[in-house]
A and B are shown apart, each in its own frame.
Chain A
Amino acid sequence: MTTQATLEAIPAHVPPELVGSFNFYTSEQMVPTPLGDPQAATSTLHSGPPVFYAPNNTRNGEGTWVVVRAEDQRKVLQDGITFSSNRRLFASALGEDWPLIPLEIDPPDHAKWRSLLNPLLSPKRVVALEPAVRERAEFLIEGIKSRGNECEIMNEFCFPFAVSIFLQFLGIGNENLAMFVDWAMDLLHGAPDKRTAAARRFIAYLDDLQAERRKKPTDDFMSFVTQAQVDGRGMTEQEVRAMSVLLLIGGLDTVAAALGFDFYYLAQNPDQQALLRAEPARLVLAAEELLRAYPTVTPTRKATVDVVLNGAPIKAGDLVACPSMTANRDPAEFNDPDSIILDREDNRHVAFAYGVHRCLGSHLARREIVIGLEEWLARIGPFRIKEGTTPITHGGFVFGVHDLVLTWD
């Protein structure tokens, strides 16, 4: 029911000269755009004020401050006391009120939850998950090959791949993969009523799984968290739910969208595609550059006190958005930020955010992306966007590309 009439007025403390005309949801290139480049479109913000106010800059039509530069984003995201992450977004969409764990828990409480989960997704642990990741990539790509010489890559590869690895991690197996992919599409890209219904279905499923593992633990993630001790006690059902839901929404759309942009770039840049196919050892560095150029998320915090950030008079309660796309194209931190240089070194991009909430799954995500591209390039010949089709890009909550039909000879 979001209409112009429900948009919030600009708060009185926001100086008119800091009200921007750009937002990440309805501006040019942020709305679904044929053959667009939404990340590049945000780069122009570097010519404006370093922190500005964007009306209508959330899914619910709220205004937020937008922190353009990387250095200022570090100040926000590294200070979880001044800038709270406790927004309860997922729960509020269901008319409920509980934090995702650990993302919506602030320091100092945050640390104990994070410490519990860190070892499960550490760089070393991810090495052990790699054979399963590679096996899923092979399985999906061979399936696509057997069906012909074209595919819509988001639906046929990127989403099922990310969903499948999540299921594996959770300990569910792939028997119901198609059902989960449908649910995930509804949850992440459906109309609001479909989203809510899908969220409830996921929660019901995870609750059932939790109950089973509490009775009869195995060696999977759900068994681990149902057995884990926090503050000398076991976790409540609600805490386990809040943790498993976060892994679900953190691990699906983001990885799928990142891979989607990578294919979108490679399909349009045959020389770079050929180079990576011929020398796959270049993929590790190339994947980092593609993460820099095509990040998808905007960590957003709520100020807990009045604070001035690079000239912006932020008031307690204001939302403060830190788009990874602008930080990753900050000329103060990257030479020639709008050029994609696949062997770029010194590439400390912020695709996985800064601070205590740095993406818990970043090490797995990196390997999913590299392995997905490795297996694809090794098994599929030179590919391009199918003639007569038009991929659509969009900005918003998680930037993405869809209708990406690839073909090869």
Chain B
Amino acid sequence: MRIKIDGAKCQGNARCWALAPDMFELNDEGYMEEGVIDVPEGEEKRASRAARACPERALTIIDE
């Protein structure tokens, strides 16, 4: 599983970080940078919960 981050949509709500701080690394301002995260095997459930927590819909699950 991979998760695509739309950097322009991220507004620093940090809900993904709250659920999975090890996978979603915030920058100094507390925002996610544009990019794609490779979810470690076995962490799919936690990662998808974190992705679904974004109020801005900045995170998209790809390659389920």
Chain A contacts to B: CB under 8 angstroms: 74, 78, 115, 118-119, 121-125, 345-350, 352, 354-356, 358, 362-363
Contact = CB atoms under 8 A, between A and B. Distances in A.
Interface of B: 9, 11-15, 17-18, 26, 28-31, 49, 52-57
Contacts of B17: 123
B60 to A, nearest CB: 14
Contacts of B56: 74, 78, 354-355, 358
A352 B31 CA distance: 15
Contact of B29 (A119, A345, A354): A119
B28 A78 contact: no
Looking at B29, B31, B49, B55, the one whose CB has the most chain A CB atoms below 10 A away is: B55
B24 to A, nearest CB: 11
A352 B9 contact: no
A350 B13 CA distance: 10
A349 B28 CA distance: 24
A255 to B, nearest CB: 17
A363 B54 contact: no
B31 A118 contact: yes
A247 to B, nearest CB: 16
Contact of B55 (A122, A125, A350): A350
A362 B11 CA distance: 11
B11 A122 contact: no
Contact of B28 (A122, A358, A362): A122
Contacts of A115: 29
B29 A348 contact: no
A299 B17 CA distance: 25
21 contacts: A78-B56, A119-B28, A119-B30, A123-B14, A123-B18, A123-B30, A124-B26, A125-B30, A345-B49, A346-B49, A348-B15, A348-B52, A350-B55, A352-B13, A354-B11, A354-B55, A355-B56, A358-B11, A358-B12, A358-B13, A358-B56
Contacts of B9: 78
**4 A-B pairs with least C-beta separation:** A122-B30, A118-B29, A358-B11, A348-B55
Nearest to A346: B52
A118 B32 CA distance: 13
Nearest to A121: B30
B13 A349 contact: no
Nearest to B53: A348
Given A78-B56, A350-B55, 17 more contacts: A118-B29, A118-B30, A119-B29, A121-B30, A122-B12, A122-B26, A122-B29, A123-B14, A123-B18, A123-B26, A124-B26, A125-B30, A345-B49, A354-B11, A354-B56, A358-B56, A362-B13
A354 B57 CA distance: 10
Contacts of B30: 118-119, 121-125, 363
A122 B12 CA distance: 8
A74 B57 CA distance: 9
Nearest to A351: B55
Nearest to A125: B30
Contacts of B29: 115, 118-119, 122
Contacts of A123: 14, 17-18, 26, 30
Contacts of A348: 15, 52-55
A119 to B, nearest CB: 5
A125 B18 CA distance: 14
Contacts of A355: 11, 56
A358 B12 CA distance: 8
